[in-house]
């Protein structure tokens, strides 16, 4: 029997300790490798999720909870691993075989947890892959859009510089061009400026379109002076002509009041004053436009001319309404049967088309046309009495004709199906 101090027993114990320590050290190496691989998987997942968020925030938000759960598990596994390594000093060669065995088992458990976390992280990364594949094709479309936007911006800059060199004032165009430059800077910001892929492509197209429009506007500044002179002269001449016809409007209103009932002209009562006011406003807009042209405020020039033309068109429309009314009423007074016959023809034409349908006319079309025929018979009654309502008579006949044509269109559309 061996004594406790027997060298052979001590040698066997030392050998077991060395073997246990070697196994523990190997387990530590495996754990360190698993920790490194899990750390890399976690960083890679974070990068892919960030990139996905830059391109499609909705898709990233859908996967983020799963990624956070996997990341939380990885953090726990990493903390447990570090705790195990700190708790077992394998560099100390005076440990017992049991201590080395305990260290090995703890390290192997930590390795298994690290590998499970790596697998979870890789699973989330794999779920991101189809989303990224879907976006990659569209991502390729962004580069040419950005290039087109930058080229349009460069052309606009050159056009502005040329206009300035020609002595033109470009304050408004330059201010808008600076805004376009801001759009391009936003697209160049990290993460596409938070716009997402779809938003970035739309913003690039917006920047391109706005820059192209500004380039065209800057190029047109060179001819703005002469064009403005011509436009102002043209509008002023039209205003003068409209003002000259103002007397004819007064004469026409006098004819309406003397010869026809109030129902024939009451809606035109305020036309003369409205025409005068519109012409006055047109002249005011012209004066404002001339001041803007002198200051080279070209957009104000464009807006002023548009406003003056609007006022002028309103005055001309009101003047025509008065003079045309006299002509229409005189024709109706001279031959009231002519507009009646025109309306009757429209109704009969619709009736012939309805009757020609296989199986006879549709009941709803027949009813509608019967109502129109009844209205035709009643229309001449508007001309009875000492003060005939010629205008009401004409409006009623036109309404009948319009409704008859509508029925014809409906019938033809139904038969074409």
Calpha distance 336→330 (Å, rounded): 10
Give the start-to-end residue ranges of the domains of the chain.
11-139, 140-221, 245-333, 337-416
Q: Express as a percent the part of the chain with pLDDT over 90.
A: 37
Give CA–CA dist 266/282, Å, rounded.
26
* Integer Cα distance of 339 and 370 in angstroms: 19
Measured between alpha carbons, how far is 314 from 310 in angstroms, rounded to an integer?
6
1 pLDDT band, cuts 50/70/90, is: very low
CA distances to 8, 25, 90, 167, 316 from 11, in Å: 5, 21, 20, 102, 121
Report, as an integer, the average pLDDT of 96-117.
89
172 pLDDT exceeds 50? yes
pLDDT at residue 282, as a whole number: 94
pLDDT in tens, 10-33: 555 568 878 888 888 888 999 899
The radius of gyration of the chain's CA atoms, rounded to the nearest angstrom, is 45
Q: Is 359 left (phi over 0), alpha (psi -120 to 50) or beta?
A: left
Residue whose C-alpha is closest to residue 277's, from 253, 242, 306, 305: 242
pLDDT in tens, 117-135: 998 998 888 888 888 777 7
Q: What is the pLDDT of residues 314-371, one digit of tens each?
A: 999 999 999 999 999 999 999 999 999 999 999 999 999 988 877 778 889 899 999 9
Angle at 369 between CA 366 and CA 372, to 5 degrees: 155
How many Cα atoms sit within 13 Å of 63 on the Cβ side? 26
Does position 166 have pLDDT exceeding 80, yes or no?
no
Q: Which helix (H) or strand (E) holds 194?
A: none
Over 80: is that where the pLDDT of 292 sits? yes
Q: Is the pLDDT reported for residue 197 higher than 70?
A: no
* Token pair of 59 as six digits: 């898709």
Q: Is the pLDDT of residue 194 over 60?
A: yes
pLDDT digits (tens, 9 = 90+) for 33-75: 999 999 999 898 888 888 787 777 778 888 889 888 988 998 9
Buried b / exposed e along 11-26 (16+ C-beta atoms within 10 A):
eeeeeebeebbebbbe
Q: Which of 88, 109, 118, 87 is nearest to 31 (CA)?
A: 109
């Amino acid at each position: 029997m061996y004594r406790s101090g027997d060298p052979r027993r001590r040698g066997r114990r030392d050998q077991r300790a060395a073997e246990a320590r070697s196994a523990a050290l190997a387990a530590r190496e495996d754990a360190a490798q698993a920790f490194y691989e899990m750390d890399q998987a976690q960083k890679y997942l974070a990068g892919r999720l960030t990139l996905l968020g830059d391109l499609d925030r909705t898709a990233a938000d859908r996967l983020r909870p799963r990624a956070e759960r996997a990341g939380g598990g990885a953090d726990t596994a990493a903390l447990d691993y570090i705790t195990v390594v700190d708790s077992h000093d394998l560099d100390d060669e005076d440990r017992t075989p049991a201590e080395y065995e305990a260290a090995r088992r703890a390290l192997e458990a930590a390795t298994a947890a690290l590998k499970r976390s790596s697998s979870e992280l890789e699973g989330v990364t794999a779920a991101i892959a189809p989303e990224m594949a879907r976006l990659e094709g569209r991502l390729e479309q962004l580069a040419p859009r950005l290039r087109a936007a930058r080229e349009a911006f460069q052309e606009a800059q050159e056009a502005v510089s040329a206009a300035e060199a020609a002595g033109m004032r470009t304050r408004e165009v330059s201010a808008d061009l600076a805004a376009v430059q801001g759009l391009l800077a936003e697209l160049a910001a990290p993460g596409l400026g938070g716009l997402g892929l779809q938003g970035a492509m739309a913003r690039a197209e917006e920047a391109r379109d706005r820059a192209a429009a500004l380039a065209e506007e800057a190029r047109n500044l060179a001819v703005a002076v002469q064009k403005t002179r011509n436009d102002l002269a043209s509008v002023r001449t039209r205003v003068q002509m409209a003002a000259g016809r103002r007397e004819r409007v007064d004469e026409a209103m006098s004819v309406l009041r003397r010869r026809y009932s109030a129902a024939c002209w009451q809606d035109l009562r305020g036309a003369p004053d409205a025409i005068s006011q519109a012409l006055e406003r047109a002249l005011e807009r012209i004066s404002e436009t001339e001041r803007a042209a002198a200051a080279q405020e070209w957009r104000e020039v464009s807006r002023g001319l548009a406003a003056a033309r609007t006022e002028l068109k309103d005055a001309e429309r009101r003047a025509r309404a008065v003079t045309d009314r006299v002509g229409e009423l005189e024709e109706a007074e001279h031959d009231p049967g002519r507009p009646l016959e025109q309306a009757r023809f429209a109704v009969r034409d619709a009736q012939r088309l309805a009757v020609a349908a296989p199986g006879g006319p549709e009941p709803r079309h027949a009813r509608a046309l019967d109502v129109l025929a009844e209205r035709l018979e009643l229309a001449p009654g508007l001309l009875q009495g000492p003060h005939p309502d010629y205008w009401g008579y004409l409006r009623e006949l036109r309404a009948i004709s319009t409704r008859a044509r509508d029925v014809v269109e409906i019938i033809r559309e139904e038969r074409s199906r």
